[in-house]
Amino acid sequence: MPANLPPQYYELEREFRAEKDPRERLRLAQELLALMPKHKGTDKLQAEMKAKISLIKKQIEGGGEGKHGVRQVQTFDFIEKEGAGQLILIGAPNTGKSSLLESLTHAKPLVADYPYTTREPLTGMMTFETIQLQLIDTPPISDEQFEHYLPNLIRNADTVVLVADLMSQKMTDDIEFILKVLEEKRIILSPERAEHHDDPSNSYKKAIICAHKSFEENTDDRLTELKAMFSNFTLAPTSVLDETSLNAFRKAAFDSLGIIRVFTKRIGAEPEFKDPIILHPGGTVEQAANVLHKDFAHKLKFARVWGEGKFEGQRVHKDFVLSDKDIVEFHI
């Protein structure tokens, strides 16, 4: 039986054969496997690719004892998600990513006036109203530096925050270089979040643009340039000296995640506006109950809901669609 592989497969296979970085080879191998039609004609090809993926993973993890018993212990390829969403800060040298992280979270990155201060990713938790969002500061992207682990971190994040330095005369050139490097790694920044694309070999990442060091002198022209470059994107002007702009960034970061918050209350008690259940838009009462415990969802008879545009304590069934900031009282 013929394999009937799509044209994109052969292009991706050439990249895979030429690639030397094991982490990039792993990504390409996984995409090749995903592109393969699943039928008897590709059984052998699938098995071979799965074996290659397993071997590459072992190489990345250290592959057991190496020379003199040394093992690779940390790669920064993956950062466990915490809070309601993960956002990754990327940008050119000295754009102010680390100062942003310090201002928005309790993290203490090394902040200096010289470039390449950040050598490895650093995380911090940013508070927005009743939830925590995870921010990742990353080493800069330039023709002198591009860390091998960055593509995997970017693909794993929920939202990419491209930080532009409005005080830099090289701002446009820096951004164009970053977009080119990402495109070479098959990462495309997108103003909207979409689940399906024509080319599955590309990773389309929801992004917002942070126009940093706003409110300084002589930045208006570059802000206009930035708005023209990213006309369809959410653009958030920020300054570490202006709390109003930082609050607007927090709101833009939350909005970019495309999530809703659902609060719960016990029968006869007041709601506690903390640790909300996080759902995607269109989430139902049953899905919210399932987040608490799947057995709880199974036993659920009905719920009462409070929220904007609803009757107070409105009785609803499992399939009722919830909205952001709704309050739910479960009855089992």
Q: Which residues belong to CATH 3.40.50.300 in the chain?
A: 86-257
Instruction: Quote the Cα angle for 143-10-54, to 5°.
Output: 80
DSSP state, 140?
A: -
Q: Which residues belong to CATH 3.10.20.30 in the chain?
A: 260-331
Q: Is the pLDDT of residue 4 over 80?
A: no
Nearest CA among 183, 89, 78 for reference residue 138: 89
Per-residue pLDDT tens digits for 195-228:
666 677 788 999 999 999 998 888 999 999 999 9
Q: What is the Rg, in whole angstroms, of the alpha carbon atoms belonging to the chain?
A: 23
Q: How far apart are CA 72 and CA 61, in angstroms?
A: 7
Q: How far apart are CA 126 and CA 105, in angstroms?
A: 5
Instruction: Match domain 260-331 to its CATH number in 3.40.250.10, 3.10.20.30, 3.30.450.20, 3.40.50.170.
Output: 3.10.20.30
pLDDT band at 272 (very low <50, low <70, confident <90, very high): confident
Taking CA atoms, 255 is separated from 89, 234, 322, in Å, by 16, 10, 17
Domain 86-257 CATH assignment equals 3.40.50.300: yes
Nearest CA among 159, 135, 140, 161 for reference residue 150: 140
Report pLDDT for 71. 40
3-state DSSP percent of the chain in helix, strand and coil, to 5: 35, 20, 40
The most confident of the ranges 12-26, 38-52, 161-175 is 161-175
Nearest CA among 27, 78, 79, 17 for reference residue 53: 27
Per-residue pLDDT tens digits for 211-220:
999 988 889 9
Report pLDDT for 46. 86
Q: How far apart are CA 303 and CA 290, in angstroms?
A: 13
